[in-house]
Amino acid sequence: MDIYVLILPLLIGWILDKLLGDPIGLPHPVVGFGKLISFCEKRWNCGTHRMLKGGVAAIMLILLVYAGSVLVLHYLFVLNRWLGIILSAVLVFYCLAGTTLINEVRQVFLAADHSLEEGRKQVSRIVGRDTSELTDQEVRTAALETLAENLSDGVIAPLFWYLLLGVPGMLAYKMVNTLDSMIGYRNERYLQFGCVAAHIDDMANYIPARLTAFLMVLCAGRPGLLRFVGKYGNRHASPNSGYPESALAGILNCRFGGPHVYFGEIVYKPFIGDKDRFIHTQDMHKAVDINRRAEILMVIVNIVCLYLVG
């Protein structure tokens, strides 16, 4: 296989994400994924055997996305190689979500610097918890936690699956991630129906989450923080989210976690880190810098590996 068929879509898609962020107003595959999930959930999340029906729906949708994208891309590459490269690059662009989240986190800190109410309103755009009673520090901490988690879910994991399975693998991962974000909740409605989807997401993110933490520590130039990550990474309720969060908490020398309100219920998250200090705007700038370095490093890793494979 020609090397540019492997590397060009990755580079073009990544550069587009850096320049444009999420394409507001344009059709997005994740929106389509969400409609498919809602269609299945409304019809199957009822009666008995909800776990089985939810598992079948999740696996069916993931395989549909993977197989469908394999067939479409294969046809385009046979028809015209450059058409295949262009579509692949556009799909890589759609699958990466690094730039938009960084911009959103910046807006949270700018809003919080102006007023607490504006900070609460802005952070509600990127977190699932109730933000109406958050303190100024909780607003800022929530934004940084989301930034760290999104580096794994929105950047490193898609690049990891691109390296393993190409664009179809990247798209299949986005379906996995969308399933978890829509039905992977432990509440009365989704506990059974979304159980399998949540476990698939845990498996799909197992290596990327730990790789993300490693890249963050490496980019910070503080390898000793790997012990910190090892100590706190498994304390999160999620088997994966704690690792990038603990890496950022160690880099910033701060503390994440604590009680949060989700859908009217208080959820107690174990603390990650032991230094409860004030978070300032310069901490956000440092976190963004680490995110960007880790992202660039992962792209370089992909290019080197793809070159060796090619």
DSSP 69-119: HHHHHHHHHHH-HHHHHHHHHHHHHHH--HHHHHHHHHHHHHHHHH-HHHH
Give me the mean pLDDT over the 120-142 stretch: 89
- Cβ atoms of 82 and 91 within 8 Å: the answer is no
Give me the mean pLDDT over the 232-255 stretch: 93
Q: How far is it, in rounded angstroms, from Cα 149 to Cα 143?
A: 10
Task: Give the pLDDT of residue 262.
Answer: 58
Task: Give the pLDDT of residue 264.
Answer: 59
Q: In this model, does residue 267 exceed pLDDT 80?
A: no
Task: Give the pLDDT of residue 287.
Answer: 97
Q: In this model, does residue 175 exceed pLDDT 90?
A: yes
Locate the domains of the chain by residue range. Answer: 3-309
Q: In this model, does residue 258 exceed pLDDT 80?
A: no
Task: Give the pLDDT of residue 305.
Answer: 95
DSSP code string of 132-187: TT--HHHHHHHHHHHHHHHIIIIIIHHHHHHHHHHHHHHHHHHHHHHHHHHH---S
CA-CA distances (angstroms) from residue 218 to 5, 47, 248?
A: 30, 50, 12
Structure tokens at 121: 């309103």
Q: In this model, does residue 53 exceed pLDDT 90?
A: yes
Q: In this model, does residue 111 exceed pLDDT 90?
A: yes
Task: Give the pLDDT of residue 27.
Answer: 79
DSSP at 186: -
pLDDT-derived band of residue 58, with 50, 70 and 90 as boundaries?
A: very high
Span 188-224, pLDDT tens digits: 899 999 999 999 999 999 999 999 999 999 999 999 9
Give me the mean pLDDT over the 242-251 stretch: 96
Span 10-43, pLDDT tens digits: 999 999 999 998 877 777 899 999 999 999 999 9
Per cent of the chain over pLDDT 90 is: 81
- Cβ atoms of 226 and 217 within 8 Å: the answer is yes
Q: What are phi and psi of 45, to 5 degrees?
A: -85, 65
